[in-house]
Chains A and B, each alone.
Chain A
Amino acid sequence: MRSNTERNKSGALEAELSVPAGKTSRQSLWKRFAQQWEFQLMILPAIAFLLIFNYAPMWGILMSFQEYNLFKGFWESPWVGFDHFRMFFDSPEFWNIMRNTFAISFLKLLIGFPAPILLALMLNEVGHLFFKRVVQTITYIPHFISWVVVSGLVFSMLAVDNGAVNETLQRFNLIEQPINWMSIPEYFWGILVTVNVWKEIGFGSIVYLAAIVGIDPSLYESASIDGASKLQQIFKITIPCIAPVIVIFLILNIGNLLNAGFEDVFVLTRNLNNGILMSVAVTIDTYVYQMGIINQRFSYATAAGLFKSMLSIILLIAANGIARRLGRTSLW
């Protein structure tokens, strides 16, 4: 009874104080706007910030159709149409860049995406609570460490002289001579993906663990009465129950597929000075950085970057479409 009257009261208050029920005519819109000036003021800085730091650069995309000159500025620079795109497609590195970008991205998705799910499934089966907590605490750590430090750890672990990996392999007589891991192109993708999984597996598992905790326990009880083994329960109950979460994250991951490969590639190849790795390590993002920031070919680099954004959006739309066709879950 009491809560009911309270709600009525607050409902009335709300109508009176902040949200007058108005018509959508222009005058009452601005009247309402003026009445909520405090809230509109709260919104203002954020909108201004987004406008300057997110939308202004979008406008700058147009310069990929120009021969942009930093000193002439946007209005004075001459238009050149699709020249930069053509140049990018015709450049000798183009197919190499595309191969590396897609290979690295898809390898990360293929291995980096299921890994946290697998970890969550395993952690969920652990009965020993203290052990579970220790494993979680430790595996979350790398997420909070910068890629710079991670690259330092990787270089140290894989060092030719006294790197822990080489020493261990030698101790178990698996290799004769220390391997110079960071200078062999064939190993680079593997190292990159392994380090990525190492860094994010624990943190990525949080969401899936939460989804698993939310599953109705009576499902497991009735399954075990029917004689289902633990493994059968995982495949028949756990995985189908967390499938919607998996699909949402998969779509988001695919949309971000081509974005997710810059910092790691960059720190792991920077200043290695051997050039050998570049054939397998140059991606659209590192190329944009090289051409734009180092060589100051602003328009050309922007064209390459825009090409990547377009590919990302196509991937996102495609992934969402496929998910919607296959099942009930989709982003929109």
Chain B
Amino acid sequence: MKLTMGDKIMQVILYIILAFLAFITFYPFWNSLVLSFNTGSDTSLGGVTFWPRDFTLENYQIVFKEKKIYQAYFITILRTVIGTAMAMFFTSLFAYALSKKGIVFKKFYMIFAVFTMFFNGGLIPYFIVVYHLNLYNTFAFLILHGMISVYNMIIFRTFFMGLPDGLEESAKIDGCTNFGVFFRIVLPISGPVFATLSLFTAVFLWNDWFFPAVFINDQNLIPLQTMLVQIINEGTTATLMANLNSYAQSMVQNSVTVRSIQMATMMVATLPILFIYPFLQRFFVKGVLVGSLKE
């Protein structure tokens, strides 16, 4: 195939646009990382762009000195691990049973589940229900919230329906119960779809700040992102200092500013995901495709 002059010009423009897009996507992260490694007082002079000008680890030292951060981290990790495991367990079981032929009430179950994708009670009735179940201000709420995702169920189900029947039948001849088939045969060969949906669920639980903000009052139960929204959005130094006493003390001695602390905290909350994500990219691209299949 020969490229015409017009095609060549188009190619050049294309590369420039895409390189620019990649740059503006990446730069805010990079800039925040740079600012988190720069002394706050130097940053406020302006002009720190691609490299730390006055390198320091002070910001991180202060963030990691704050005990609340550890507590919030602990809650976040606990929530993400337990929440993801439970969501995967119950959602995949649901999907597996619905992928079988001849299940009584199957159609009803499907409609029952899919209906919730299009219609819900809204925030306030949900709040009332959670309140009356005594889940307000409990760790249990953090795990139970969003445990069954109908969207994930459909992806699981599509995947399970594609598995060859013979595999399970032979296990049954060997005397496996239906539970045994699921755990010993189906689970081990469903790695990619479990990896993808676990990633999505884990990312949701890791990133969710809103529901903890509404349903959790106890500062010891606040996850990292919810704490972060308090730190980032408190525009004034005074509030931040009042909130985080140990920060304030060290700020007197160090050249640390509210902004440099914000940047460091943001990085602490984000880096785990940034590190894990490239390894899982292959899986989730496949996973998105399974999900987009017509159902």
Residues on A facing B (Cβ under 8 Å): 6, 9-10, 13-14, 17-19, 29, 32-33, 36, 38-40, 42-43, 45-47, 49-50, 52-61, 63, 68, 70, 73, 119, 122-123, 125-128, 131, 134-135, 137-142, 144-149, 151-157, 159, 161-162, 164, 167, 198, 201-202, 206-207, 210, 224, 229-231, 245, 255, 263, 266-267, 270-273, 285, 288-289, 292-293, 298, 301-302, 305-306, 308-309, 313, 316
Residue count of chain B within 8 Å CB distance of chain A: 106
Stretch at the interface among B12-20, B56-64, B187-195, B245-253: B12-20
> How many Å from the CB of B285 to the closest CB on chain A?
6
Q: Give chain B interface residues in 1-48, CB to chain A under 8 Å.
A: 1, 4, 6-7, 10-11, 14-15, 17-19, 21-22, 24-29, 31-32, 35, 43-48
Q: Are B120 and A58 in contact (CB under 8 A)?
A: yes
Are A42 and B32 in contact, CB atoms less than 8 angstroms apart? Answer: no
Mask, B92-115, CB within 8 Å of A = 1, is 011011101111110001001100
Taking a contact as CB atoms under 8 Å apart, the answer to whether B24 and A198 are in contact is: yes
A135→B26 CA distance, assembly (Å): 10
| Contact, CB under 8 Å: A144 / B277 | yes
Q: Which residues of A contact B269 (CB under 8 A)?
A: 146, 148-149
* Beta-carbon nearest neighbor of A128 in chain B: B15
**Is there contact, CB below 8 Å, between B214 and A146?**
no
Q: Quick one: given A141-B29, A153-B32, A293-B214, are A60 and B124 in contact (CB under 8 Å)?
A: yes
Q: What chain B residues lie within 8 Å of A255 (beta carbons)?
A: 118
| List of A residues within 8 angstroms of B48 by Cβ | 162
Tell me whether B148 and A305 are in contact (CB under 8 A). no
- Report how far A309 CA is from B94 CA in the complex, Å: 27
A305 to B120, CA, bound (A): 10
Residues of B within 8 A of A140 (CB): 277, 281
The 7 residue pairs across chains A and B that have the minimum distance between CB atoms: A60-B125, A57-B121, A146-B207, A19-B102, A305-B122, A46-B94, A57-B125
Q: Is the CB of A210 within 8 A of B289?
A: yes
Most buried by A among B32, B103, B172: B103
Question: How far, in Å, is B110 (CB) from chain A's closest CB?
Answer: 11
Contact of B25 among A198, A298, A306 (CB under 8 A): A198
| A156→B32 contact, CB < 8 A | yes
- Taking a contact as CB atoms under 8 Å apart, the answer to whether A32 and B281 are in contact is no
Asked, given contacts A57-B122, A206-B285, A210-B292, whether A148 binds B127 with beta carbons under 8 Å apart, the answer is: no
A70 surroundings in chain B (CB, below 8 A): 128, 131
CB-defined contacts of B100 to chain A, threshold 8 Å: 18-19, 36, 39
Whole-angstrom CA separation of A32 from B129 in the bound complex: 35
Q: Which of B251-278 contact A (CB under 8 A)?
A: 259, 262-263, 266, 269-270, 273-274, 277-278
* Cβ–Cβ contact B24 & A293, under 8 A: no
Residues of A within 8 A of B127 (CB): 292-293, 298
Question: A56, A145, A288: which contacts B129 (Cβ < 8 A)?
Answer: A56
Distance in Å: Cβ of A71 to nearest Cβ of chain B: 11
How far, in angstroms, from A46 to B88 measured CA to CA in the complex?
Answer: 11
Taking the complex as formed, is B126 at the interface, i.e. its CB lies under 8 A from any CB of chain A?
yes
Chain A residues near B270 (CB-CB < 8 A): 145-146, 149
A50 touches B148 (CB 8 A): yes
Are B179 and A167 in contact, CB atoms less than 8 angstroms apart?
no
Assess whether A39 is in contact with B103, with CB atoms less than 8 Å apart: yes
Nearest-neighbour CB distance to chain A for B202, whole angstroms, equals 10
Once the chains bind, are A229 and B266 in contact (CB under 8 Å)? no
CB-based contact B21/A119 at 8 Å: yes
CB pairs A–B below 8 angstroms (29 shown): A39-B103, A43-B94, A45-B94, A46-B90, A46-B93, A47-B109, A58-B119, A58-B125, A59-B121, A73-B132, A122-B14, A134-B22, A144-B203, A146-B207, A151-B229, A154-B28, A161-B44, A162-B43, A164-B27, A206-B285, A207-B288, A224-B1, A255-B118, A292-B123, A293-B127, A298-B128, A302-B124, A309-B120, A309-B122
Residues of chain A contacted by B112 (CB below 8 angstroms): 47, 50
A43 to B121, CA, bound (A): 23
Contact of A152 among B32, B97, B207, B278 (CB under 8 A): B32
Contact in complex: B21, A207 (CB < 8 Å): no
Residues on A with C-beta less than 8 A from B18 are 122-123, 126, 131, 135
Are B278 and A137 closer than 8 Å at their CB atoms?
yes
* A125 with B14: CB separation less than 8 A: yes
Kindly list chain B residues whose C-beta atoms are within 8 Å of the C-beta of A263: 210
